[in-house]
Amino acid sequence: MADYRAVALSIMVFLGVAGAQESTTQVNIKAPTSKSGGKDFNQVRVTVNGMVRTVPPGQETQFVLPASEGDQVHVDLKTLKKGVFSDEEIQHWEGATRLNGSGHVEYFTLSHGVGRFGQWPSIIFEATGAVLDIIMDGQTLGTIGTAGVTQIKRGIPPDQNHTLKWRAGTTDVCNKDVLLTVNVQRTYVCDSKTRLVAEQ
């Protein structure tokens, strides 16, 4: 079985209306513990898009960098054994991925030099024929069909049930329950006349 060691990379892009997203990305990384891989080390050097930080094993650290949908996030992680004159590199992971607009991505170290990215599902809400409020899991995300707003994009936690609603006033025009895995993108379009949701 693969050794799933601890690197949790959580990237949060604060998104609003599609095409009008903020460019600040928050990156949280939990460094591997000193027992990872059975090799002793006492430092972890983490580099995200050129920003470098050295932390103790097992410590969480946070980066804030400019990145938005379509931008590439590059992660370089090294475990080091600090020496008197130089540091010895014990293990090294490196990987890159492009943001899908969901606002969250995780990076997991699997074995020496091999890692895996898993981005939250990215969904786009659209509608035809009406001005509708968008509701996800009871939370209002915004309104489409007015002031030039044609769609709203959000990321949702993977492998969980979510309820999507398109609402006019107090009336639910369309409803859809979804359960999505990581690394997928979906567009859901509510037809206000038929009250059906098309998936793209």
Co-location of 114 and 139 in the same domain:
no
Dist. CA 83–CA 70, nearest whole Å: 40
Q: Could you tell me where the beta strands, DSSP code E, fall in 56-131?
A: 60-66, 72-82, 87-98, 105-111, 114-119, 122-128
Dist. CA 106–CA 28, nearest whole Å: 9
The model's pLDDT over 130-179, given as tens digits with 9 standing for 90+, comes to: 999 999 999 999 999 988 899 999 989 999 999 999 999 999 999 999 99
Residue 102 in any domain: the answer is yes
* Range from 26-30, 34-38, 73-77, 85-89 carrying the lowest mean pLDDT: 34-38
Give yes or no for a contact between 130 and 192, defined as CB atoms under 8 angstroms apart.
yes
Our count of domains for the chain comes to: 2
pLDDT at position 37 is: 61
Residue 65 in any domain: the answer is yes
Give yes or no for a contact between 61 and 29, defined as CB atoms under 8 angstroms apart.
yes
Domain span at 113: 9-119
Which of 69, 99, 119 is the last residue before a domain boundary?
119
Out of 46-55, 110-119, 186-195, give the one with best mean pLDDT: 186-195
The model's pLDDT over 49-61, given as tens digits with 9 standing for 90+, comes to: 999 999 898 888 7
Co-location of 103 and 149 in the same domain:
no
